[in-house]
Amino acid sequence: MPAVVRAVRETVSGLPRTFWWLWTSTLINRLGAFVVTFLALYLTLDRGYSATYAGLVASLYGLGGAVGAVVGGVLTDRVGRRSTMLLAQLGAAAGTAALAYVNGQTAIAAVATALGVASSASRPAVQAMMADMVPAKDRVRAFSLNYWAINIGFGVSSAAAGLIASQGYFWLFLGGAVMTLLCALVIWAKVPETMPGSGDTTGAPGPAAGATSRAGLGIVLRDRRFMAFVALTFLLGTVTQQGSTTLSVDMGRQGFTASQYGLVIGLNGLLIVLLQIPLTRMVEGRSRAALLTAGTVLMGWGFGLTAFAGSVAFYALTVAVWTIGEILHAPASMSLVADLSPAHARGRYQGMYSIAWPAASFAGPLLGGVALDRWGGGVAWGACAVVGTVAGAGYWLLLRERTLRAEPVVAVPPALDRVPGPTADH
């Protein structure tokens, strides 16, 4: 027990007070971020639309998110982190509330696209602000805590949202909007601007004022290694997106309820909260190439196992497998993004990395929905295993160079200060 207490103390001590307000806003935001997870179930079971249409709506949400990530990255470096977050959260709250009232396939698709833009625009700002306010030696620890907040919020909200949805999706959408507004309120009241040159930076100094404004997107696009990493992340993202779209539809078709789906998918966040520290300590010292490859293959084959699922327990087992893969993959990918991102273009690099996930949420659900409708779950889930294997091989080929292979990954205490640079959440 003393060792546990000491580990907790080392994890939370020494970080700026403002960081904890930002951490709180992240937790609140994720507590209200259950709407998209249940959107496919709402469209197919409550509205009676096809899996293909549900996949299309989720894909449009992802397309909007891809645009939002780039726009958010540019705004983060141009107008400031705080202003970008406030604008994005207010937009996300409005879009979430609109889903409670909007009718018609075209209108629902349009609102989902706009919601995707707003939801993703804040990610680069949050990541850049954390890097601004936290000293370099504590950044990995700070980003690890933020990753915990994301998954605590996701796990709790997914389980609770399943129960709320059983009483009506109207209240689900309004509840998500209220939580997003509360997140914006915390940022407005407690989180100052931290952009270098703003006069409010609370952490280590960043690049000189005006340096980021001269950095265009070209500096990111010309970085071949970084863009290759983003491309592989996109491939992996098309697989992980099946958890919030194709999985819910597949379970619904087999007669499982929204509450049962919520409990199954909520296991993902719960396991991350429980296992992130022990598993990361077990693999300490392993190369990033090995961790990214192993984690990606586990995620792909974890989703592939869903083809054989016929009970809640088996679905939960598949979630456990790909969650372990996520735990291995996340700290390694975060560390690599930190190493490849120059400080003077932090917002744009974070924005371009962030684009991989919403872009994947455009392609992944659409492909998953079509595959499920036309060929059934065997093909849809088998494809996940194939794509995961291909992406894992790509990570290995990209990162097996000696300069990267020699660097260990440590994403949680007690050795956090040995890994330099900020991390990024998914």
The predicted structure's pLDDT at residue 80: 85
Rounded Cα distance, 341 and 227, in Å:
11
Question: How far is 397 from 377, CA to CA, in rounded Å?
Answer: 31
Residues 32, 158: Cα–Cα separation, whole Å: 9
Instruction: Give the per-residue pLDDT at 321.
Output: 96
According to the model, what pLDDT value does residue 114 have? 93
Which stretches of the chain score pLDDT less than 50?
A: 200-213, 402-426
- pLDDT at 140 (0 to 100): 59
Residues 6+ apart with CB under 8 A from 208: 196, 197
Left if phi > 0, otherwise alpha if psi is -120 to 50, otherwise beta: which for 348? alpha
CB count within 10 Å of CB 401 equals 11
- Least Cα distance to 416 among 287, 281, 290, 282 occurs for 281
What's the pTM value of the predicted model, to 2 decimals?
A: 0.69
Q: What is the pLDDT of residue 202?
A: 43
- In the prediction, which pLDDT does 344 show? 67
What angle, rounded to 10 degrees, do the helices at 224-240 and 346-374 form? 40
Predicted local distance difference test score (pLDDT) of residue 391: 95
CATH annotation of 15-193+214-417:
1.20.1250.20
CA distance 275 to 26: 20
Predicted confidence at residue 383, as pLDDT, reads 94
